[in-house]
Amino acid sequence: MQIPESARRWVEEIAAITTPDHVVWCDGSAEEHARLTAEAVKTGVLIPLNQERMPGCYLHRSHPNDVARSEHLTFICTATKDAAGPNNNWMDPGEARTKVGALYTGVMKGRPLYVVPFLMGPPGSPFSKVGIEITDSVYVVLNMRIMTRMGAVALDHLKGRDHFIRCLHSLGELDPEKRFILHFPEDNEIWSIGSGYGGNALLGKKCLALRIASWLGKQEGWLAEHMLILGVQTPAGDTHYVTGAFPSACGKTNLAMLVPPPELAEAGYKVWTVGDDIAWLRPGADGRLWALNPEAGFFGVVPGTSMKTNPNAMRAIATNTIYTNVALRSDGTVWWEGHDDPSPDDALDWQGRPWSPTSAEPAAHPNARFTAPAAQCPSISPLWADPNGVPIDAMIFGARRQRVVPLVYQATTWQHGVFLAATLASETTAAAAGKVGVLRRDPMAMLPFCGYNMADYWGHWLEIGAHLSKAPKIFRVNWFRTGGNGKFLWPGFGENLRVLQWVIDRCSGKGEAERTFIGYVPTRRAIDRQGIDVPDTVMDQLLHVDRIDWLDAVESQQLFFEKFGAHVPGAIMEEHEALARRVAEALQNFE
C-alpha cells in the first residue's frame, strides 16, 4: 500500500493522543478479514451464526443505549452558525476541538487503533472520494469492509496525493453523556466518539457521503442525496433510471430491490438495483442528471424484511452478512418481527435475554440492521459500479404520511419540484433516537444529513436545475396513507411498480393526469390495478386532494420557512405563495 506521508503523520499524531496498544493499517485483504473476524469472535464482539445455514454470517449486539443515530449529539462545526443553518446543531470549531478533543486523551489505552482507508464511489471514477477512518472498533472495521471499498484500493485512488477526508472514531466509554458526532466541513474532518452504531460510527456513510459530501457538492457543483437509485426495464427493453429520497426507515431499500408482481413480470418488467441509501448526482455534458451509488454494501432495516416483502434482500443477506440487534434462535439462525418463520418458542432477544412469543418486548430491536455486500443482491444492476453512474429520468420523494398526501403526484416544473421536495414531511421512525410517529418537516429526506444551511441547499438545487437541459421529472409518492380503520390503503412493496409505471409514462409524455392545485395527480384508471384488489373507492381515497388539509399544510410551511429567514430562495417563496393562492381559489370554488 502506498501510504501518503500526510496520512502517516496524522495517524502518529492521533496515536500519541489516544495511546492505543498498537496500530493496525488495514489493507482490505481476505487474510486480514479472516484475522479480524476471529479477533471479533474471541472478544465477543461477533457471535458466529450457524455456518452451514448462513455461511459467513455473524451477530453483533450493540450496547442497549446505542441502537440508532443520535441526531441531538450530531453537530456541524463551521466558523459561523449561519453556515450550518437552523437545520443543524452547531458548535464553534475551536470550542469543539477543545471540549470534545479532551475526550480522546488516552481513550484507546489497551485497545488496537485500526486505520481504515476507504473509497466512496467506484474505483477509477473521477467522482469518487477517499476517506481514512481511525477507529478502535473492530466491528466498525468489519462493517466498513462491506459498506465501502476498503484498504489498498482506496490509497491507490489517491495516486500519491493527500486529498482525503480525516475521520476519527472511538467507542470512548459508550456513554451518551460523552457522545458526539462532529463535522468540520471547512477542514474536511469528522470526529465521532461514544457510539459504535451505524450512522454514528461508520463514518463513510452519513457523515462523509452525505454531510461532508453535500458541502463539497455545493462548492463543486453536484448533489449528495439520501436517495436510492433503481432502473425499471420495460417490456420494450429500455431501462429508465429513477432516484427516490425517503427519510430513514421509510422504504428506500425495499423500493430499490423491488420484485415485479407476477402480471408485470410476465409482461416483461424488471427492476435493477443501483443503490439503496445514498446517491451522488451531477449534471452531465449531455444536459442530463447522472447518479452514482458511493457505497459498496447495504446497511438495511431488518424488521419487516421477508420473502413476501423483499425477497432480493433476503437472498442478499443469506451469506457474508453482519446482523446487528436481531434475535438468536437455538439452532444458531436469526429471527425478527416480520420474518417468514413463525415466532420461535425460545430464542434470545437482541440483548441476549431469553425471549418467547409471550414476552412483552419485541425480539429484535425495531432498528436492527443487516450489513451485506451489494454484489450479493440478485437484482444488482450491471451498471451499479459504473464510474459515470446512470442517467436519471425521474426523481421521487416519499415519506410516511397517514393523511393529506396522495399516493403519487407530479410537480409541474423543476422549480415546483424543488419546492415540493423542500416541504417534504414525515412521521419519525426508530432509525433515530427519540419519539416515533411524530410528524416533522424533512426536506429532501435530508434534514439529519445536510451539512450546511438547508435554505442555501434549496438554492443549490435550483442552481443545478439551471445546468440541466433534460432535467429529471419530479414526483411525490406516499405508500403510507391510511383509511378509517388505520390500515394502509395501498398494498405497497412489489405493487409500487404500478406507481413507477405511471411515473415512467409521464416522463415519456404519456400517463393520464388531472392538474390539481398541488400538481398532476393520476386519474383513477391511470394506475394499473389488474391483479390487485384495490377497488375504485379506495383508489379515490388514495388520490384524494383535500382543500382544508392543504390550507393547514400551507400555514405550517409558512412557519417552517420563517425559521430560515432571508436564506430562503425567492423562487421557493414564489412557489409557496402560488400554492397558497391556488388553495384559496380551490376553497372559493368549493363554497
Amino acid (1-letter code) at residue 250: C
Is position 198 an interface residue for ligand SPV (rule: CB under 6 A)? yes
Is position 384 an interface residue for ligand SPV (rule: CB under 6 A)? no
Cβ-contact 8, 160 below 8 angstroms: no
414-422 vs 570-590: helix axis angle to the nearest 10?
90
DSSP bridge pairs for 114: 24, 135
Our answer to whether residue 250 is catalytic in this structure is: yes
Q: Closest approach of Cβ 226 to Mn ion, in Å?
A: 6
- Pairing between strand 227-233 and 270-275? antiparallel
Distance of alpha carbon 553 from alpha carbon 419, whole angstroms:
13
- Pairing between strand 180-184 and 189-193? antiparallel
Element (H, E) at 243: strand 239-245
Cβ-contact 307, 340 below 8 angstroms: yes
Is position 336 an interface residue for ligand GTP (rule: CB under 6 A)? no
Cβ-contact 296, 146 below 8 angstroms: yes
Question: Which one-letter DSSP state was computed for residue 212?
Answer: I
**Stretch binding Mn ion (CB under 5 A), from 20-28, 120-128, 274-282, 350-358:** 274-282
Say which entry of ligand SPV, ligand GTP, Mn ion, none residue 493 contacts (CB below 5 to 8 A, set by partner kind): ligand GTP
| Per-position x/- string for 306-345, each x denoting binding to Mn ion as judged by CB under 5 A, each - no binding | ----------------------------------------
Distances (CA, A) of 587 to 278, 556, 581: 40, 18, 10
Select 248 or 410, whichever has its Cβ closest to Mn ion: 248
Q: Which of residues 556-575 bind ligand GTP (CB under 6 A)?
A: none
Is position 277 an interface residue for Mn ion (rule: CB under 5 A)? yes
One of 87, 248, 325, 453 touching ligand SPV (CB under 6 A): 248
Q: Closest approach of Cβ 103 to ligand SPV, in Å?
A: 21
One of 251, 261, 275, 283 touching ligand GTP (CB under 6 A): 251
Closest-by-Cβ residue to ligand SPV is: 199
Select 210 or 521, whichever has its Cβ closest to ligand SPV: 210
Is position 277 an interface residue for ligand SPV (rule: CB under 6 A)? yes
Q: Which of residues 473-492 bind ligand GTP (CB under 6 A)?
A: 479, 488, 492
Distance of alpha carbon 128 from alpha carbon 369, whole angstroms:
26
Element (H, E) at 6: helix 5-18
Per-residue DSSP letters for 56-89? Answer: T-EEE---TT-SSB-GGGEEE--SSHHHH-TTSE
Select 69 or 218, whichever has its Cβ closest to ligand GTP: 69
Could you tell me which of 221, 334, 226 has the C-alpha nearest to residue 283? Answer: 221
Is position 309 an interface residue for ligand GTP (rule: CB under 6 A)? yes
Q: Closest approach of Cβ 131 to ligand SPV, in Å?
A: 15
One of 115, 132, 316, 431 touching ligand GTP (CB under 6 A): 431
Alpha helices, DSSP H only, in 225-261? 252-256
Q: What is the CA radius of gyration of the chain?
A: 24
Q: Which of residues 9-28 bind ligand SPV (CB under 6 A)?
A: none
Closest-by-Cβ residue to ligand GTP is: 492
Q: Closest approach of Cβ 143 to ligand SPV, in Å?
A: 10
Select 25 or 479, whichever has its Cβ closest to ligand GTP: 479
Distance of alpha carbon 179 from alpha carbon 372, whole angstroms:
27
Number of residues that bind ligand SPV (CB under 6 A): 9
Q: Of the listed 167, 250, 377, 450, which one is catalytic?
A: 250
One of 18, 87, 195, 248 touching ligand GTP (CB under 6 A): 248
Distance of alpha carbon 47 from alpha carbon 32, whole angstroms:
18
| Per-position x/- string for 495-514, each x denoting binding to ligand GTP as judged by CB under 6 A, each - no binding | -x------------------
**Stretch binding ligand SPV (CB under 6 A), from 198-206, 237-245, 398-406, 521-529:** 198-206
One of 56, 101, 284, 304 touching ligand GTP (CB under 6 A): 304
Provide the CA 225 distance to its chain's centre, in angstroms: 8
One of 20, 131, 300, 511 touching ligand GTP (CB under 6 A): 300
Q: Closest approach of Cβ 205 to ligand SPV, in Å?
A: 5
**Stretch binding Mn ion (CB under 5 A), from 96-104, 247-255, 419-427, 541-549:** 247-255
Could you tell me which of 164, 230, 165, 169 has the C-alpha nearest to residue 194? Answer: 169
One of 185, 303, 373, 389 touching ligand GTP (CB under 6 A): 303
Torsion of CA 5, 6, 10, 11, to 10 degrees: -30
Select 301 or 347, whichever has its Cβ closest to Mn ion: 301
Select 302 or 521, whichever has its Cβ closest to ligand SPV: 302
Select 20 or 247, whichever has its Cβ closest to ligand SPV: 247
3-state secondary structure of 191: strand
Provide the CA 185 distance to its chain's centre, in angstroms: 20
Per-residue DSSP letters for 119-183? Answer: EES-TT-TT-EEEEEEES-HHHHHHHHHHSEESHHHHHHHTT---EEEEEEE-TT--GGG-EEEE
What cell does 386 get? 459504473
Is position 246 an interface residue for ligand GTP (rule: CB under 6 A)? yes
Is position 431 an interface residue for ligand SPV (rule: CB under 6 A)? yes
Is position 299 an interface residue for ligand SPV (rule: CB under 6 A)? yes
Provide the CA 54 distance to its chain's centre, in angstroms: 26
Select 71 or 136, whichever has its Cβ closest to ligand GTP: 71
Select 69 or 270, whichever has its Cβ closest to ligand SPV: 69
Question: Which one-letter DSSP state was computed for residue 210?
Answer: I
Element (H, E) at 441: strand 439-441
- Look at the block and give the residue holding cell 477509477: 124
One of 149, 183, 205, 365 touching ligand SPV (CB under 6 A): 205
> What is the contact surface with Mn ion in residues (CB under 5 A)?
248, 277
> What is the contact surface with ligand SPV in residues (CB under 6 A)?
69, 198-199, 205-206, 248, 277, 299, 431
> What is the contact surface with ligand GTP in residues (CB under 6 A)?
246, 248-254, 276-277, 300-301, 303-304, 309, 431, 479, 488, 492-493, 496
Q: Which residues are catalytic?
A: 250
